[in-house]
Amino acid sequence: MSVDRGMFRLASWLRPTDQPAPGGPRAPLLASADSARRRRYAEYLAFYEGQHFPRGRLGRTQLVVNYARAIVDKGVSYLLGRGLGFAVEPPAAPWDAQRQREAMGPPSAALAADEARAAAAEALLYQVYDANDLDAVDLAAATTAAICGDAVFKVFWDPRARRLRVVALDPAGFFARWQGDDPATLVQVDLLYALAADEARARYGVAARGEQVEVVETWTATRFRLEVAGWVVQDGPNPYGVIPFVHVPNLPSPGSPWGRSDLADVVPLNRELNERLSDQADVIRYHAHPPVVFRGVEAHEGPAVGPGSVWDLPRDADVKLLEWHGTPPAVLEYIHTLLRALYETSETPRTAFGDSGRLLSGVALETELRPLLQRTLRKRVVWSAALRRRAQLLWAVAEAVGLAPPGLFAGLRPRVVWPPLLPQDETRLVENNVRLVAAGLRSHRTAMEVLGVESPEEELARVRADRARLGARLEREGPAPTPRSEAGA
């Protein structure tokens, strides 16, 4: 199918039906559904933004030390690092004697075709990655997942921009139903979001009161339904043949498809830390400016309180400062205990905040950061599976809209190339890979992936082209003349 025919089919599928939603609008039902999860999202987002005091302290100090935001942002930085890479491998096949002989000799036509398909699939992934600025999209999705516990990607064809799109959605508007015996398979997705009234009128011809209207998309593997302001404007077959969503649970919870927020154990400790630091600030303020009691003074507007104040009072007046008496509480020790509990429960050691108290070697630094690295590795297991599903979904949508022939990407295996968790010695890393390639223990492509090259095939083609040009120039011009000083030496 050509691209134009695919777009024509999508355009015909997008015709509105102009029918009221049977049984009433779905938007109010979805808004009230799963209210506990949506309320939890709102609370975590508010805490991340620094709203740590649900109730006022009646004029007392309200210090906010936002460890919640620091822990989330540091965790996302360790997860994504300097950005992701992708590699696509040909379909796996049984390793038999025939395939071994082909591997030792010249590649067969079938193997060359599979490698060509893998190269095309990888080129499509990087093209979509660059066109959608997916490094920023992934950063936003990872931050949302760390705060709320869930992230959602949507993959679709944008007929107006004439390109594949990947966007990160608000998980509060994502309502999913999974297969009972396979919690990794989506059965139905309802997506609830708001659309400007003028945009809804321009795109779907729906006139509604107010500045915004509610939109509900309902997806199954076979059907798609779109409801705008209570009117069903689209209802028909699913144009992609797949549900175009990828759900990413931050840290999977036992017995639940939804993820767990990084702030689940941080909120009570961070809130208590703020309370005690605010109390300490009140004590310091009390000692700096203690309350003053005047006796025998009818009008107290005159005497000013503060450093350098001079009072002129009647003889029978009595002035008394309310000072602290008794043993001071061990607030500082308690604050240190809270900080230690915060570091341990969030798996973000004090060293991650740049304060180890001593100079550490590479191995010692990795040992101190081991809790954070272990948590990041657990997240990468979940994200690797989700990003592989996103790559396969991109291929399926590309085939459905006619950007690629049907079956072009069948059997291909996408792989995520993660950046190193800790700073690496680039020179040593290059030397190790050169030795592995020379010993026949690692391919050129794998070595380039480890070194962070986005498209090893294209880079290898450039290397071969450079060598060919250099060889042709040497044949034409001959070797460069040796300087006389070097020749004499």
| pLDDT value for 8 | 37
> In whole angstroms, what is the distance from residue 284 CA to residue 279 CA?
9
pLDDT value at residue 393: 96
In a domain, 346, yes or no: no
Range list of H helices, 49-174: 67-80, 97-104, 109-131, 134-148
Q: Is the pLDDT of residue 27 over 50?
A: yes
Shared-domain flag, residues 119 and 183: yes
Evaluate whether residue 322 is within a structural domain: no
What CA–CA distance (Å, rounded) separates 412 from 393? 12
Instruction: Specify whether the CB–CB gap between 123 and 414 falls below 8 A.
Output: no
Write phi, then psi, for 175 (nearest 5 degrees): -120, 115
305's tokens: 């309180």
Residues 86 and 170 grouped into a single domain: yes
How does pLDDT run across 242-253, given as a tens digit for each residue?
999 999 999 888
Q: Is position 56 within any domain?
A: no
Evaluate whether residue 306 is within a structural domain.
no
277 in a domain, yes or no? no
Tokens for 439? Answer: 């010993």
> How many CA within 13 A on the CB side of residue 342?
27
Q: Which pLDDT score, from 0 to 100, does residue 2 have?
A: 37
> Residue 127: pLDDT band by 50, 70, 90 thresholds?
very high
Residue 453 lies in a domain: yes
pLDDT band at 285 (very low <50, low <70, confident <90, very high): confident
Examine residue 312 and state whether it is found in any structural domain, yes or no: no
What percentage of the chain exceeds 70 in pLDDT?
Answer: 75
User: Does residue 230 sit in the same domain as residue 178?
Assistant: yes
Same structural domain, 159 and 219: yes
Q: Are residues 413 and 441 in the same domain?
A: no
The answer to whether residues 410 and 467 belong to one domain is no
Give yes or no: residues 444 and 474 share one domain. Answer: yes
Q: What residues make up the domain containing 450?
A: 426-478
Q: Could you tell me if 395 and 460 lie in one domain? A: no
Place of tokens 């509480």: 329
Total of domains in the chain: 2
Question: Same domain, yes or no, for 431 and 413?
Answer: no
Condensed to tens digits (0 to 9), the pLDDT of residues 290-308 reads 666 666 666 656 556 555 5
The last residue of a domain, from among 417, 439, 468: 417
State the alpha helices, DSSP H only, in 316-369: 331-346, 362-368
> Do both 386 and 459 map to the same domain?
no
Q: Is residue 151 part of a domain?
A: yes
pLDDT at residue 141, rounded to an integer: 97
The 223-228 sheet, strands edge to edge: 19-20, 231-237, 223-228, 212-219, 182-196, 174-179
Q: Note the residue count of the chain.
A: 489
pLDDT classification of 160: cutoffs 50, 70, 90: confident
Highest mean pLDDT of the ranges 101-115, 154-168, 283-297, 350-364: 154-168
Digit-coded pLDDT (tens) for 381-419: 999 999 999 999 999 999 999 999 999 999 999 999 888
pLDDT of residue 489: 42
**Structure confidence at residue 291 (pLDDT):** 61
Q: How confident is the model at residue 89 (pLDDT cuts 50, 70, 90)?
A: confident
Q: Are residues 227 and 189 in the same domain?
A: yes
415 C-beta neighbours (distance < 10 Å), count: 16
Examine the domain organization and report whether 28 and 114 are in the same domain.
Answer: yes
Sign for the CA dihedral angle at 350, 354, 360, 364 comes to positive
Neighbour-count burial of 362, counting CB atoms closer than 10 A to its CB (0-12 exposed, 13-18 middle, 19+ buried): exposed
